[in-house]
Amino acid sequence: MARSASDNRRQPGTEKDGAAGGTTSHFIRQIIEEDLRSGKHEGRVVTRFPPEPNGYLHIGHAKSICLNFGLAADYGGICNLRFDDTNPAKEDPEYVAAIQEDVRWLGYDWGDRLFFASDYFEKLYHYAEELIRAGKAYVCSLSSEQIREMRGTLTEPGVESPYRNRPVAENLDLFRRMRAGEFEDGAHVLRAKIDMAAPNLLMRDPTLYRIRHLRHHRTGDRWCIYPMYDFTHCLSDAIEGVTHSLCTLEFENNRPLYDWVLDNLPVDCHPQQIEFARLNLSYTVLSKRRLIQLVEGGHVSGWDDPRMPTISGMRRRGYTPEAIRTFCDRIGVARRDSTVDFALLEHCLREDLNRRAPRRMAVLRPLKVVIENYPEDGAEMLEAINNPEDPAMGTRRVPFSRELYIERDDFMEDPPRKFFRLAPGREVRLRYAYFITCTGVVKDENSGEITELRCTYDPATRGGDAPDGRKVKATLHWVSARHSLAAEVRLYDHLFAAETPGADHPQGDFMADLNPRSLEVLTDCRLEPDLGRFAPGEGCQFERLGYFCADPVDSREGQPVFNRTVTLRDTWARIRRQKGRK
């Protein structure tokens, strides 16, 4: 039964957090809505996300995940998770597990529809025999180089293989013996018999099966022939009853082959392949082939290094699934390749964190402050607001005492005119605490470096306001020295220094653009004590500094490590204005 599109468009909860397929209309929605109107697939919407388990998922995959799962949810359909695991040389169960974790973390559920192309190997094999019997496939015994040479070019037709007209019985016999393991790798391939003069090179008798004596992570040694992508993908879609098979633009040329295979075999379902532009993001690379080089070359600590554009890296960095889903909705879906500015991703992240992240105080580069008129052993608890954006998040109590730390760059001994923070003789506010005035500076005799500030406080300003109405020009964050927690904090910048890594180097050498300053480790930071109970991965805003989260890998009991998720300064509005003007 056909459901009308608008019935299912906005499910409860999807609008608020940008979940599901988002709210932006685009050409794929139009195709689906038209199909629902015309009853093309009996009103069904079935999509799939088909990763190859040869690496971890990146933010580009998130676009495809949000699109496939989101559209299914929005139109009352289903979305399968299918591993496209036909190349045992590059695949690994570690990737299979990581991919499932990432899709689930992004907020999507494939129910009981976890599939593997390798589960279809037997069916695919029978389809291949069927093509042979119909005279539409043949065993070719040319080497792969010969096949390549004889394929022709865009301007010249290819040359037919001398094996093209092998009788059906001989083809069947050879193909069965290929399966039985009688031949070495490369001795034969199975090719579709289409047209060596086709303008589309992919239609010039493409290879469907090749011999690979390799152990597969799921089928073990059962197979030594493996089907090619173009044969596997369309048939897997058809077997699963997929209606809309969404893929990226580079597969546009494969569409005639996708359709040819399905048109020439007795399948019940002929899904429609629809291409959309892949996500490219500035200052990073989105390709597993390149990301694996970063991992294997030791340029990052692993697939989940917080600088990586992988879902696992972004999770470790403190990104939220909501922010990523909102981003995927905002970038939209089009048929033209473009590069999205990293600043938009960070903008979506800040928007989400600003609403939800609790505020805490931390000092990254500590400078000691002694409040001379505060009792030696005194201490008190002061009330601090957890999130000014959300009163429901309440307040907490922060310890204050005679010795504090403030940020080193919040003080200047000889300040220029526009510096309004602490300086000798000047009064500032300590957030949620008191007004303090700097009365002296203590320096290291040898180096001349400032080691301590001497200050006085005004007890009448408790909570941060002066009863006599006097104003100060700055409010600083701080922590109590003796109550604070020592911590390591890692500051991250773009992994690449160039907007399009490799663009200005010979052979597009993207490694040449690695940003040598993408990681700064601060080992002497001081946190307000409450941060000690933060669970791995839990995040907050360090007031005035940015959003941070407890590193789930390297944090130890009593020795927290925090990652900077993103700074507070949003550059997106400025970039958008500049682009608008161009």
Q: How far is the CB of 61 from ligand ATP (least distance, A)?
A: 5
The tokens for 451 are 């080691």
The tokens for 66 are 């949000």
Q: How far apart are CA 65 and CA 311, in angstroms?
A: 11
Number of helical H runs and strand E runs in the chain: 15, 27
Tell me which of Mg ion, ligand ATP, none is bound by residue 437, counting a contact when its beta carbon lies within the kind-specific cut-off of 5 to 8 angstroms. Answer: none
Residue 122: helix, strand or coil by DSSP?
helix
Q: Distance of CA 68 to CAs 142, 269, 530, Å?
A: 40, 19, 41
Torsion of CA 537, 541, 545, 547, to 10 degrees: 40
Residues of this chain that interact with Mg ion (CB under 5 A) are 52
Q: Distance of CA 570 to CAs 259, 345, 372, 519, 580, Å?
A: 46, 10, 39, 20, 17
The tokens for 166 are 């092998």
Q: Which of 33, 40, 52, 160 is catalytic?
A: 52
Element spanning 281, H or E: strand 279-281
124 vs 311, beta carbon nearer ligand ATP: 311
* Residue 288 appears among annotated catalytic residues: yes
284 vs 456, beta carbon nearer ligand ATP: 284
Q: How far is the CB of 52 from Mg ion (least distance, A)?
A: 5
Stretch that binds ligand ATP, among 45-53, 112-120, 528-536, 546-554 (CB under 6 A): 45-53
Q: How far apart are CA 91 and CA 96, in angstroms?
A: 8
57 vs 137, beta carbon nearer Mg ion: 57
50 near ligand ATP, rule: CB under 6 A: yes
* Residue 215 appears among annotated catalytic residues: no
Q: How far apart are CA 291 and CA 300, in angstroms?
A: 10
Which residue in the set 18, 22, 60, 309 belongs to the binding site for ligand ATP (CB under 6 A)?
A: 60
Q: How far is the CB of 51 from Mg ion (least distance, A)?
A: 8
Q: Which of 204, 288, 359, 490 is catalytic?
A: 288
Residues facing residue 207 across a β-bridge: 191
- Strand-strand pairing, 189-192 and 46-49: unpaired
Which residue in the set 215, 289, 517, 574 belongs to the binding site for ligand ATP (CB under 6 A)?
A: 289
8 vs 54, beta carbon nearer ligand ATP: 54
52 vs 554, beta carbon nearer ligand ATP: 52
Q: How far is the CB of 356 from ligand ATP (least distance, A)?
A: 27
Closest CA to 279 of 64, 117, 86, 67: 64
Q: How far apart are CA 216 and CA 117, in angstroms?
A: 12
Stretch that binds ligand ATP, among 30-38, 59-67, 402-410, 514-522 (CB under 6 A): 59-67
Q: How far is the CB of 502 from ligand ATP (least distance, A)?
A: 15
286 near ligand ATP, rule: CB under 6 A: yes
> Is 100 exposed, middle or buried (CB count within 10 Å of its CB: 0-12, 13-18, 19+)?
middle
Which residue in the set 8, 264, 287, 571 belongs to the binding site for ligand ATP (CB under 6 A)?
A: 287
188 near ligand ATP, rule: CB under 6 A: no
Q: How far apart are CA 379 and CA 404, in angstroms?
A: 11
Q: How far is the CB of 155 from ligand ATP (least distance, A)?
A: 29
Which residue in the set 9, 29, 63, 477 belongs to the binding site for ligand ATP (CB under 6 A)?
A: 63
Q: How far is the CB of 53 from ligand ATP (least distance, A)?
A: 8
Asked if 328 and 62 touch (Cβ cutoff 8 Å), the reply is yes
* Residue 278 appears among annotated catalytic residues: yes
Q: How far is the CB of 327 from ligand ATP (least distance, A)?
A: 12
Q: How far apart are CA 84 and CA 90, in angstroms?
A: 12
Stretch that binds ligand ATP, among 122-130, 278-286, 294-302, 466-474 (CB under 6 A): 278-286
Give the number of other CB atoms < 10 A from CB of residue 250.
Answer: 11
What is the Cα gyration radius of the chain? 31
Which residue in the set 71, 211, 279, 369 belongs to the binding site for ligand ATP (CB under 6 A)?
A: 279
318 near ligand ATP, rule: CB under 6 A: no
Closest CA to 564 of 499, 518, 530, 529: 518
Q: Which of 113, 278, 396, 408 is catalytic?
A: 278
48 near ligand ATP, rule: CB under 6 A: no
- Residues forming contacts to ligand ATP in the complex (CB under 6 A) are 50-52, 60-61, 63-64, 84, 247-248, 278-279, 286-289
